[in-house]
C-alpha cells in the first residue's frame, strides 16, 4: 500500500504544474489573497489542480473547475482511496461517496455508489436535474445509468489482492495518513469571485458494507457559503460528522477568523470531545475565504494540500496539533 506522503512525480502533472513543498508558516507568501485560486487535499491535489486550473485560467466557473479536478484521482487506478482502484469494503465491494456544492448553495451528493468511475459527476447531475440533494446505493446507481454513466468494474487486481490479504486477519485499524481514509476535497474561487467545492472518496478500506463517512455529507465533508468562504475535510469521517466540521469552519470564518484559525479551532473541537482518540486518528481541514486567503490545520503531522494560483501550483504541509 502506497503512503500518501509520496510526492506525485512532476512528469505526471505536465508543464502546467510547478509544485514545491512549503511549510504551513509560508502561507502568507505571494498568491494568498489571489483569485482565481484552487486548493485540493493531499499530494494528488497537485494533479487535480492542474485540471481545475485549465477551467479557472480561461475565465471558467469554479463549479466546473472543482468537478474537473475531482475527476482526476477518481479515474486513476493507482489511487486506492478514490474512485477506480479504490480499496473495497470488507465484503469486497468498492463503494463511492461524493458531493458537490456551488455558489448559490445548490448541492448534490451520492453515497454507497458502486460501478461508476465518476461519482462527482453523478452528484452534480443530482444537484442540477432532481429536487433532491442525496441519492444512495442502488438508487444512485439506477440514476447514474439512466443518465448515461457507464457501469464498470472498479475493483482492480491490485486492490483485490490487498483485500484478500487483509481478510487473513480481518483487523480494522485505520492508520493516520495512510490510504484507507484519504479523500480528495477541492475548493475554488473563480475570476468572478464565486466559490464552489467538491469532495469524493471510496471511503475507509475494509469498512462495514454500507458505511458512509463525511465526504458526501453537506456541512461535514464540504461546505460552501459564497458570502464567506468554503471548506473541505479529510481523514476519519466519523470525527468530522460529529462536529459538522466544514460548516463549523465556514461559520468560524463568518465570525472573523482567518481560514487558518477556523481550521485550527475545528480541529480543537474534535480534540476536546475525545482527547485520547484524537491522538490515534487523522482529521484535516482546508479552507478558503471570500478574499482568496487560505489555510489548513490537522490533528497529526502528514497532511498535505496543494494550492494553484496564477503564480503556480504549490504543495504545502498542513500545520498540526500533534
Buried b (16+ CB within 10 A) or exposed e, 190-224: beeebbbbbbbbbbbbbbeeebbbbbbbbbbbbbb
How many C-beta atoms lie closer than 10 Å to residue 245's C-beta? 31
Would residue 183 show up in a list of annotated catalytic residues for this protein? yes
Buried b (16+ CB within 10 A) or exposed e, 266-299: bbebbbeeeeeebeebbbbbbbbbbebbbbbbbb
Catalytic entry in 41, 80, 183, 200: 183
Q: Give the containing element (helix H, strand E) for 164.
A: helix 157-167
* Grid cell listed for 310: 496564477
Number of H helices, E strands in the chain: 9, 14
Integer Cα distance of 257 and 289 in angstroms: 10
DSSP string, 273-315: H-HHHHTT--EEEEEEETTS-EEEEESSTT-EEEEEETTEEEE
Integer Cα distance of 33 and 250 in angstroms: 17
Q: How many CA atoms lie within 13 A of 1 on its CB side?
A: 22
Of 38, 63, 59, nearest to 48 (Cα)? Answer: 38
Active-site residues, by number, are 183
Amino acid at each position: 500500500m502506497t503512503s500518501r506522503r509520496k510526492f506525485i512525480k512532476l512528469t505526471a502533472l505536465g508543464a502546467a504544474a510547478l509544485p514545491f513543498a512549503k511549510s504551513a508558516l509560508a502561507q502568507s507568501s505571494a498568491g494568498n489573497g489571489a483569485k482565481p485560486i484552487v486548493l485540493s487535499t493531499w499530494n494528488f491535489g497537485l494533479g487535480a489542480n492542474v485540471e481545475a486550473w485549465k477551467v479557472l485560467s480561461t475565465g471558467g466557473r469554479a463549479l466546473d473547475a472543482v468537478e474537473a479536478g475531482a475527476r482526476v484521482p477518481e479515474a486513476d487506478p493507482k489511487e486506492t482511496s478514490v474512485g477506480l482502484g479504490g480499496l473495497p469494503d470488507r465484503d469486497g465491494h468498492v463503494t463511492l461517496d461524493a458531493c458537490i456544492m456551488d455558489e448559490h448553495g445548490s448541492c448534490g451528493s451520492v453515497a454507497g455508489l458502486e460501478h461508476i468511475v465518476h461519482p462527482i459527476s453523478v452528484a452534480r447531475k443530482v444537484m442540477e436535474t432532481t429536487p433532491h440533494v442525496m441519492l444512495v446505493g442502488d438508487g444512485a446507481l439506477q440514476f447514474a445509468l439512466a443518465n448515461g454513466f457507464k457501469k464498470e468494474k472498479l475493483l482492480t487486481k491490485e486492490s483485490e489482492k490487498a483485500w484478500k490479504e487483509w481478510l487473513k486477519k480481518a483487523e480494522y485499524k485505520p492508520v493516520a495518513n495512510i490510504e484507507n481514509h484519504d479523500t480528495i476535497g477541492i475548493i475554488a474561487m473563480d475570476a468572478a469571485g464565486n466559490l464552489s467545492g467538491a469532495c469524493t472518496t471510496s471511503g475507509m478500506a475494509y469498512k462495514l458494507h454500507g458505511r458512509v463517512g463525511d465526504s458526501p455529507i453537506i456541512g461535514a465533508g464540504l461546505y460552501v457559503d459564497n458570502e464567506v468562504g468554503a471548506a473541505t475535510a479529510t481523514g476519519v469521517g466519523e470525527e468530522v460528522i460529529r462536529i459538522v466540521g466544514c460548516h463549523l469552519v465556514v461559520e468560524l470564518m463568518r465570525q472573523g477568523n482567518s481560514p487558518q484559525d477556523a481550521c485550527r479551532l475545528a480541529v480543537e473541537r474534535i480534540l476536546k470531545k475525545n482527547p485520547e482518540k484524537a491522538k490515534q486518528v487523522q482529521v484535516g481541514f482546508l479552507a478558503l475565504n471570500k478574499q482568496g486567503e487560505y489555510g489548513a490545520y490537522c490533528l497529526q503531522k502528514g497532511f498535505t494540500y496543494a494550492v494553484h494560483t496564477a503564480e503556480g501550483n504549490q504543495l504545502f504541509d498542513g500545520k498540526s496539533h500533534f
